[in-house]
Amino acid sequence: MSLEKKQIYNLNKLHKRLRREVGKAIADFNMIEEGDRVMVCLSGGKDSYTLLDILLNLKLNAPINFEIVAVNLDQKQPGFPEEVLPNYLSQLGVEYKIVEENTYGIVKEKIPEGKTTCSLCSRLRRGILYRTATELGATKIALGHHRDDMLETLFLNMFYGGKMKSMPPKLISDDGKQIVIRPLAYCREKDIARYAEAKQFPIIPCNLCGSQPNLQRQVIKEMLQAWDRQYPGRIETMFSALQNVVPSHLCDPKLFDFKNIRHGSLLENIEGDIAFDKPEIPTAPIMQDEENDFLEQTQISFREVN
């Protein structure tokens, strides 16, 4: 097989994998329903570009009818290339809205030099996007968080918050008015990065948060990346754990009624008694299908198939 044909083949294979994973997440969590108007939040990064691209592709053959509107929040960061996203979205022919709000100025004013800006920036963005969704009549708000983001959040909450808490694939706002979905929940960041490079999306770097060297999330990300290199399959196994929670074998009385366990109690759907036994821990990690398909492709430039 020639190099060009191999590049095309690998891009097609990667696209099918992402499309399959997004479709499965949508089905598993009932993310998109008949008649939905989905507001895709487009930051200009690889994740949100990939999200929009895959959703537009799925929409062509979906068994339900739904609308897509792309929204970008222009936070008035110095040097932000204002023309990039409008030009890209116009070429796609997708409905879009650019929301201009000087959150950058607010964050710089409120946060001392050297402190992380993520918390305040996130709250400001959330409020603006919720308001915009209402104005546009959107029934779902789609964000570009992926599997790695969810695992990073889990460890952040464990290490710094004392909680077993991650990012949910689907949530409802505190006031019950907005539903947020994360269709990339099953997608690997390294697949998204390869796809974005192959498609040559016009990436816009975030100079506000991405350049902060003291971010706890960046430390966690590097830890997970090191594990992924040293122990292939570990990331897949950890994500599988998020989908297989056993409350009876944790320590939260809000999730399991430990107090009312009595002699003679027969508890349904509870794993067996291992009080005096060491649990059998699998020695092999859970490997994702075609895990190594693209390990050797990082130096190859892909070309989109027309």
Contact 183, 141 (CB under 8 A): no
Q: What percent of the chain has pLDDT over 70?
A: 80
Residue 132 has pLDDT above 90, yes or no: yes
Q: What is the pLDDT of residues 68-108, one digit of tens each?
A: 999 999 888 888 888 999 999 999 999 999 999 887 778 77
Would you state the pLDDT for residue 301? 38
Residue 278 has pLDDT above 80, yes or no: no
Once rounded to an integer, what is the mean pLDDT over residues 146-161? Answer: 96
Name the residue with higher pLDDT: 219 or 282.
Answer: 219
Residue 109 has pLDDT above 50, yes or no: yes
Contact 286, 237 (CB under 8 A): yes
Alpha carbon dihedral 220, 221, 225, 226, in 10-degree steps, equals -30
> Which residue bears the tokens 């594990």?
227
Instruction: Return mean pLDDT, the chain.
Output: 86
Would you state the pLDDT for residue 276? 54
Would you state the pLDDT for residue 117? 63
Q: Which fold has domain 3-230?
A: Rossmann fold (3.40.50)
Q: What are phi and psi of 303, to 5 degrees?
A: -130, 135
Beta bridge partners of 142: 40, 181
pLDDT band at 305 (very low <50, low <70, confident <90, very high): very low
Residue 112 DSSP one-character state = P
pLDDT band at 302 (very low <50, low <70, confident <90, very high): very low
d(CA 43, CA 129): 12
Residue 210 has pLDDT above 80, yes or no: no
Distance of CA 292 to the CA centre of its chain: 21
The alpha carbons of the chain give a radius of gyration, in whole angstroms, of: 22
Contact 133, 39 (CB under 8 A): yes
Once rounded to an integer, what is the mean pLDDT over residues 185-208? Answer: 90
Would you state the pLDDT for residue 107? 77
pLDDT band at 295 (very low <50, low <70, confident <90, very high): very low
Binding residue positions: 118, 121, 209
Would you state the pLDDT for residue 104? 78
Binding residue positions for [4Fe-4S] cluster: 118, 121, 209
Residue 170 has pLDDT above 60, yes or no: yes
Flag the least confident range among 147-156, 250-259, 262-271, 280-289.
Answer: 280-289
